[in-house]
């Protein structure tokens, strides 16, 4: 009996221990879930924004990352003479950590997804390191709606691969063309791991006008049925606002913000509504373009000069180094500068191939500010040192050219010394002149 009782006691103690261990296991599991939640999909009010450093990429000439009509529905490429505009600015890059790789990518509001060279790509002429998928990488199937939406082709399963994974073409109007395997992988932001869509380039076959050697972080405007882009994913995972901004200094360095904008006391944005019927690009309306008053010797009176009003819709694109205006707007700007130049022949020579010769280095400072007024009252003020960029010695070239397709586009050349906010929560663009 004693032995039986002892065995019974031991069994009861064993059951108690088992229950205790089960409780510990449950508590540990709950704790682990809470920890994981902090790095995945739980929304946190204590997070307001993330900040990424920005630096410029130097190349000969100006380049563009605007997408072509065959893939994305826009056709905003450079005119054939754009390489004649000598300079050293190309685009803005920021470092990210995706999968097992830290990589620099170009910030592009004119395309939709993160496209980076993948390990094993023999034809890729991009900078290393190449993307190495993590253990959390998951495929997207070629027959899925997500794959069809991303690839925008009728049958993504017919891409010549021997599996059911999603492969997609990506094309850009500088001649860049890729085929990429589209998956989901982990983007590391601070101490958080966020699932995002990644296009790992497996073939680089485009005839580039400008040799572009960086991956592309496409953060264009999402459509309601599209898979989330990188900004969408960060917002959904962390609970921060679906807002991002480019805060650029005079040398194009600065910060790329996601979430609440980083502003000083007293600084406020002026906003213009986004055209909500257009996706993948940020399109706004310009009410007017004008100059501040020219010096008195240019005209009979010193008053602001209205150039254009009721202007066509305008694209804002961080993936384009230079700005584009329709022929009417382009000539209305350069003719006014040329007219003022003609009044001071000892200090300035007229327009030749988009360039002026300012014989007096202080001449540019006497040119007036160019003001772009958007619907809703937002204003972008562009000083002469920006709309006529110094190329070498006394040669200044316009940081804008004629559009090849009757569209207006504001690129990075007009965003310098500004904080441009892309507010997807309220469908508006904000400008804060620095």
CA distance to 114, 194, 244, per residue, from 104 (Å): 11, 18, 18
CA distance to 56, 108, 183, 384, 432, per residue, from 380 (Å): 21, 20, 39, 13, 8
Residues 194 and 187: their CA atoms lie apart, in Å, by 5
DSSP H/E element including 3:
helix 2-38
**Joined tokens for residue 108:** 């592009």
Residue 132: exposure state from Cβ atoms within 10 A (0-12, 13-18, ≥19): middle
| Residue 253: half-sphere exposure toward Cβ, Cα within 13 Å | 2
CA 255 to chain centre: 12
Residues 69 and 368: their CA atoms lie apart, in Å, by 37
Residues 240 and 44: their CA atoms lie apart, in Å, by 8
- Is the N-terminal amide bond of 304 cis, ω within 30° of 0? no
Residue 164 is a catalytic residue: no
Task: Tell me the three-class secondary structure of 152-171, residue by residue.
Answer: CCCCHHHCCCCCCEEEEEEE
Residue 317 is a catalytic residue: yes
108, 185, 204, 423: which one is catalytic?
Answer: 108
CB contact at 8 A, 234 and 193 = no
185, 232, 317, 423: which one is catalytic?
Answer: 317
**Joined tokens for residue 149:** 């939406």
**Joined tokens for residue 333:** 């700007």
CB contact at 8 A, 395 and 291 = no
Report the sign of the C-alpha dihedral through residues 351, 352, 355, 358, in that order.
negative
Residues 93 and 65: their CA atoms lie apart, in Å, by 13
Catalytic center residues: 108, 317
């Amino acid at each position: 009996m004693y032995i039986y009782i002892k065995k019974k006691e031991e069994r009861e103690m064993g059951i108690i221990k088992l229950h205790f261990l089960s409780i510990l296991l449950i508590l540990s599991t709950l704790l682990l879930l809470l920890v994981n939640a902090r790095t995945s999909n739980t929304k946190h009010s204590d997070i307001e924004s993330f900040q990424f450093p920005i630096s410029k990429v130097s190349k000969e000439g100006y380049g563009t990352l605007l997408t072509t009509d065959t893939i994305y529905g826009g056709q905003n490429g450079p005119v054939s003479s754009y390489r004649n505009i000598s300079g050293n600015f190309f685009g803005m890059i920021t470092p990210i950590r995706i999968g097992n790789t830290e990589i620099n990518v170009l910030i592009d509001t004119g395309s939709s997804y993160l496209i980076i060279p993948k390990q094993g790509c023999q034809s890729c002429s991009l900078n290393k390191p190449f993307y190495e998928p993590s253990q959390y990488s998951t495929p997207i199937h070629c027959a899925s709606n997500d794959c069809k939406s991303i690839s925008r082709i009728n049958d993504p399963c017919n891409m010549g691969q021997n599996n059911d994974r999603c492969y997609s073409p990506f094309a850009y109007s500088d001649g860049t063309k890729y085929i990429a395997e589209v998956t989901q992988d982990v983007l590391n932001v601070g101490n958080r791991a966020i699932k995002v869509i990644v296009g790992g380039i497996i073939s680089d076959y485009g005839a580039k006008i400008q040799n572009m050697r960086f991956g592309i972080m496409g953060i264009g405007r999402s459509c309601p049925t599209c898979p989330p882009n990188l900004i969408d994913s960060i917002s959904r995972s962390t609970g921060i606002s679906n807002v991002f901004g480019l805060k650029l200094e005079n040398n194009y360095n600065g910060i790329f913000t996601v979430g609440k904008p980083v502003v000083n006391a007293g600084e406020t944005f002026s906003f213009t509504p986004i055209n909500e019927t257009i996706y993948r690009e940020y399109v706004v309306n310009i009410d007017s373009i004008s100059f501040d008053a020219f010096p008195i010797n240019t005209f009979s009176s010193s008053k602001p000069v209205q150039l254009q009003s009721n202007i066509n819709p305008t694209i804002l694109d961080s993936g384009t180094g230079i700005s584009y205006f329709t022929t009417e707007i382009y000539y209305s700007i350069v003719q006014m500068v040329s007219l003022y130049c003609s009044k001071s022949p000892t200090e300035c020579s007229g327009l030749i191939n988009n360039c002026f010769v300012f014989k007096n280095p202080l001449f540019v400072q006497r040119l007036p500010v160019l003001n772009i007024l958007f619907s809703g009252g937002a204003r972008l003020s562009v000083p002469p040192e920006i709309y006529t960029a110094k190329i070498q010695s006394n040669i200044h070239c316009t940081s804008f050219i004629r559009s090849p397709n009757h569209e207006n586009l504001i690129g990075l050349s007009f965003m310098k010394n500004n904080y441009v906010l892309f507010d997807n929560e309220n469908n508006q663009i904000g400008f804060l002149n620095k």
